[in-house]
Every structure is written in C-alpha cells, then in structure tokens.
Amino acid sequence: MKNIYYIFLIFTIGIFFNSCTDDLLEKNPLDEISNADFWKTEGDLQLYLNDLYGKFPGWAGGGAAPSPDLGTDIVIESSEWFGGSSTPRLDGTLNVPATGGGWNWGNVREINFFLENAARAESGDLVEHYIGEGHFFRAYFYYNLMRNFGDLPIITKVLNVEDNDILYSERSPRTEVANFILAELDLAISKMKDASELQEPSRLNKDIALQFKARVALYEGTWEKYHQGTDFAGSTNGAGFLQQAADAAKSVMDAENYSLATGNVNEAYYNLFVQTDYSGHPEVMLYKQYDYLTYNIQNSLWNQPNAHGMTREMTKYYLASDGLPIAVSPEFTGDATLAEIQENRDPRLAQSVMAPGDLDFIGINGDEVLFSVPFMTRNPTGYSIEKWRSKQLFAELNNQRTRDIGYIIFRYAESLLIYAEAKAELGTITQADVNMSINLLRDRVGMPDLDITNITVDPEWPDYGYAMPDYLYEIRRERVVELFGEGNRLDDLMRWRAHKLFVDKRPTGTTYTADIEAEFPNLVVNNDGFLDPFRDYLNTGTYGFDPTRDYLLPIPSTEITLNNKIDQNPNW
C-alpha cells in the first residue's frame, strides 16, 4: 500500500511544480502545467494533488523531532529550542511582522489553479474523487489561515494583476469563512470515495473529509460559544456548528470503516504510536511514512528525548486507576517523584512518559537497558516522553532507534472525542453517547467507564475561567489525555478561550531529586522543590499572553499598507 510520502516522491519524479510565493501578485510559471498535454486524464489530476500531500504536517527531519504540542502548557522545550514553538504565542511576545507571519496565500492559489482546470480531465472513475480532494485541500488551507487570523478574504479563483476588486477587498467575517470551509468539505464529501474503493487506500477519502469537517465545526462552534462578547466573537452562539460537528463525527462512526486498535491494556496505546508502517491499520486514517535507508526520508525520533518534556501540569490530568481524580482517590500513592508517578494511574500515563525501571531500549544483541535518570540536557522537566519512543536499536542505524516511525495525521479516535464534546457542549449528551465514544477509549486501556450521572467532583479540575457541567470537565480531560502530544493542544486552548489555565503561570517538572541532581547539578527549582525550567526564559517570569490580543495573530504591516481595506486584528 502506498503512503503519502511515497506519493509525494513519485510526483516530484514525474513533474516539477514550483510552490507559489506569498505574494498574490507574483504568479508561478503555471504554463508549465497548463499546457495542452496536461489536464487530460485522471492521472494528471492525481499527479497534481500528490504534491499537496506534502503540505500535511510531519516529523522534523534533523536535529530533533519535537512533540507537535511543543510550547503549550503540556509540553515544553529545552533551552536550546526556546522560542521555536508555541511558547512566544503563550508568552505574549510576538510582534507584528512586516511580511510573512503565516499570512501566506500560495497554497490557496495552487489549489484554486487545480480546481479551475480539473474539469478539463476526460471521464474516469476517479475524476470526481480527485475534484473532491481539491475541495478538501481548499478547506484545509483556509482552516489553517482562519485559526491564525480569523476574518479572511474568500478567494476561489487564480488572481491576476487586473483583479483589483478581489486583491484590494475586505476580509470576510470569520463566521462566513467557517461556513465557506464547511461548504467546501460538503462538496468534497459528496464527491470522494470510501477508502475501500480506492486503489491507494491511504489517500484522502470520504471518512477523512467527514472527520475533518467535524474538527472544523467543533473548532468554530466552541470558538463562537466561548468568545461571545469579545473582540474575537463570531456572529453566532456556536450551536449550529456544534451540531454539524456531532453529525459529521457520527457519520464516521456509523460507517464502521475504522475502529480503535486494541490489545493488552498496558501496551495497546503505546503500540499505536511506534509503527513504521500503518498500512491497513484499523485506526489510522492517514499518515506520513518515513524510509531512511531507501529514500533518506527520515525523522529524528531516534534522538531521544528530543529536546522537550511533558509538564507536571499534564501529569495531573490522568485519573487514578479506580477512575477517580487523583485528588480524591484512595489508590493514588503520590506523584512527587518519577518512581511513583505511574502507580495506580490511567495506563496511558505509563505509556506516555518514562519512569525508573521502564524499558529504555533493547540493544542489537538483545540486552535490555532500563530507564533510570532522565537526560536533563535535552529534557527540561524530567518527564521524558515515551509516546513514539521506539525500544529497539538497529546495527544498520549505528545502534540507534529507527528513524521511520510514521506521523499520524488523522486517526479514528478523534471522531469519538469530537462527537462526545460536541454533544456535551450542546447539552444533549446521553449515557449512550458516552458509551459509544469516551468509554470505548477508556475500555482500550482498562479504565472504568465514565458515568455522567455519577461523576465525582475533582477539587483540582482545571480552572477555565467559567463554569461547566461536570461531564464536560471529564470529556475535556479525556481529550487531553488521549490526544496528548499530537498537535491539538494550542487549538484547544484558543477555541476554549482557556487563557486562565496558563496566564501568569509557568509550567514545572518533576521533583529535583538527589539522583537527578547528582548527574545534572545546578538546575532551576521552585520553592516546592520542583524543576522550574522556564523561570529565566519567559518574558516576565510567567506566561504573558494578552487575552485581548493574542487569540489571533497579527496581519503583516505590509499587507495593511498595500490594502487599506484590511484592518489589523484586535489590539495589535
């Protein structure tokens, strides 16, 4: 089965397509593709789209492969990486750029060019599917821009210098942009095939488009709900979007084309994230594959602990093994040291972070080496992340771990989480809804079911700055635990308007115990004896995020100079 990195590689061998520049007025040599020999067959559409698969996120290829949640309140970087993450956003230290800053429209131009020409292809079984992929990508690129900037110009054609009415137009309000994105996804869903109908099952398919629709609708629904009354508000209370999120996620669930990967409750979650080939995997819907020895397409997951660490604040989300919050559970034995952190806890904690006595790696001769003291030079918190940490060393890789761990882009568990959260936000969730979503995730790791009629109050529930039903606290907990380190945390903080979780605070690590100090002396520690790696790095000593400004990024100053109809985002 092919994967999207191989698809991208094959495309670059077949034809070369220059990426668009950031400037809408600067055109690419589009005539290299729009000649009479192209746009004739469905194969031409496939080749063009293959290049766009490379736009999906993936692992860094050199130096380190940091967690996709790097720089949030749950994963922070070592000093050598400071600022190369979401930390400046949470710290409120970003500035208005002259150009760039994410305000890039090359991808939109590239997909508009495709959609303008795709209908020229001769008939074929997959022409409509590929056009559906085109609408998916337009939605995907617009969603990325909307998350950063809110209001956007809606551009559905390739612009030329004479298109002044569009080039110098106003931005459409974010609610209109969100509706445009969802309409694009509805078009994609109507045209795309199921994975089983495709010769390349790892391509985008109808279920992926549905799940992405659910993601977009959940984002906008919660954004418009929690940002009401602020400068960032949409034009609705979010309920309509939330219903779309629930419906789209339920469609994925009802189709039964994917399911959770299960197995030994103490291994299944860990095993999900250390595969080099997800072909035919029941849960993974789309991924990037790496092949170091054959193509030198690699990641740096061999280089553990990869210059980042889980925060102590993240460890507190994991329930005790009896299903109760650690603040009230009699089974909780403490979390002051790494040695006790995993005892009687949700097994996903032990499968996500290292503790003394865990298997660190298996040498090429089969000898097992156990984890003892975290390597603090490249782990700021002492919580060394086990997720994606392959155990086996390979002689052909100079006694290192594999560089081929796949990067999961979409997995089925997200549909379950979106469904539960959307229904909870709407206030229509039932125990049956929880059983078909949250409790399936808990069953995989042997945790007690969530009973929404019998929830124990957690005296240490996160303070989001507003009141919520008890079941919503627990559904959000499930989301952060299940999706830890997969690149969702910043979006969750922004859409939930959750700045109270981190503003005027800073993340901490484990206790600075004697065995850690013996190998790594003179580390920064707070008054309670916990590692305090960000004390001397945050601008004012704590996160300085400005909730009246930092929920959106600034528009580059040059863009505002060129087009006086574009207003700067609030308070920049």
For residue 30, pLDDT over 50 is answered with no
* Residues β-bridged to residue 530: 511
Coil vs helix vs strand at 362: strand
| Residue 210 placed within a domain | yes
**Residues 6 or more apart from 139 whose CB is under 8 A from it?**
181, 182, 184, 185, 188, 212, 216
Query: How confident is the model over 45-81, as pLDDT tens digits?
Result: 999 999 999 999 999 887 788 899 999 999 999 988 8
Strand pairing of 368-370 and 359-362? antiparallel
Q: Which residues contact 84 (CB under 8 A, 6 or more apart)?
A: 71, 77
37 has pLDDT over 90:
no
Which two structure tokens, joined as six digits, stand for 518?
Answer: 């013996």
Q: Is 444 left (phi over 0), alpha (psi -120 to 50) or beta?
A: alpha
CA gap 15, 34 in Å, rounded? 12
The one-letter amino acid code at 213 reads: K
pLDDT confidence bin for 32, thresholds 50/70/90: low
- Segment 265-292 shows an average pLDDT of 97
DSSP 280-295: T-SSEEEEE--BHHHH
227 domain residue, yes or no: yes
Predicted local confidence at residue 22, as pLDDT: 38
Query: Strand (E) positions, 25-139?
Result: 75-77
| Domain housing 221 | 4-56+98-272
In a domain, 108, yes or no: yes
Residue 198 lies in a domain: yes
Q: Do β-strands 284-288 and 75-77 pair in parallel, antiparallel, or remain unpaired?
A: unpaired
30: exposed, middle or buried (C-beta count within 10 Å: 0-12, 13-18, 19+)? middle
Cα dist from 483 to 231, 246, 479, whole Å: 30, 18, 6
Q: Is residue 118 part of a domain?
A: yes
- Alpha-carbon span 277 to 369, nearest angstrom: 26
CB atoms within 10 A of CB 114: 24
- Going through 9-127 in order, the beta strands assigned E by DSSP cover 75-77
Tally of structural domains, the chain? 1
17 in any annotated domain: yes
Contact between residue 292 and residue 369 where contact means Cβ atoms under 8 Å apart: no
User: Look-up: residue for tokens 């290192």?
Assistant: 400
Check pLDDT > 70 for residue 418. yes
Q: What is the CATH number of the domain that holds 12?
A: 1.25.40.390
Count CB-CB contacts under 10 A for residue 372: 14
Instruction: Say what the pLDDT of residue 200 is.
Output: 85
The Cα 337–Cα 334 span in angstroms is 8
Tell me the average pLDDT across 268-273.
Answer: 98
Helix (H, G, I), strand (E, B) or coil at 247: helix
Residue 4: its pLDDT value, please? 64
**For residues 177 and 150, what is the distance between their CA atoms, to the nearest angstrom?**
8
Average pLDDT over residues 476-504: 98
Report the run of H or E that residue 13 belongs to, with start and end. helix 4-14
Q: At what angle do helices 206-226 and 239-255 cross, to 10 degrees?
A: 150
Q: What is the pLDDT of residues 185-197, one digit of tens each?
A: 999 999 999 999 9
Mean pLDDT of 281-300: 95
pLDDT at 33: 58
Q: What is the pLDDT of residue 31?
A: 43
**% of the chain residues with pLDDT over 70:** 94
Q: What is the DSSP letter of 81?
A: G
Residues 401, 302 contacting (CB under 8 angstroms)? yes
- Does residue 299 sit in helix, strand or coil? coil
Query: Are the CB atoms for 114 and 49 separated by under 8 Å?
Result: yes
- The per-residue pLDDT for 80 is 81
Domain assignment present for residue 225? The answer is yes
Is 332 part of any domain? no
Nearest Cα to Cα of residue 479 among 407, 552, 424, 550: 424
CA distances from 113 to 190, 332, 482 (A): 21, 58, 38
pLDDT band at 174 (very low <50, low <70, confident <90, very high): very high
The two structure tokens encoding residue 564: 């006086």
d(CA 477, CA 470) in angstroms, rounded, equals: 11
Instruction: Round the average pLDDT of the chain to a whole number and report it.
Output: 93
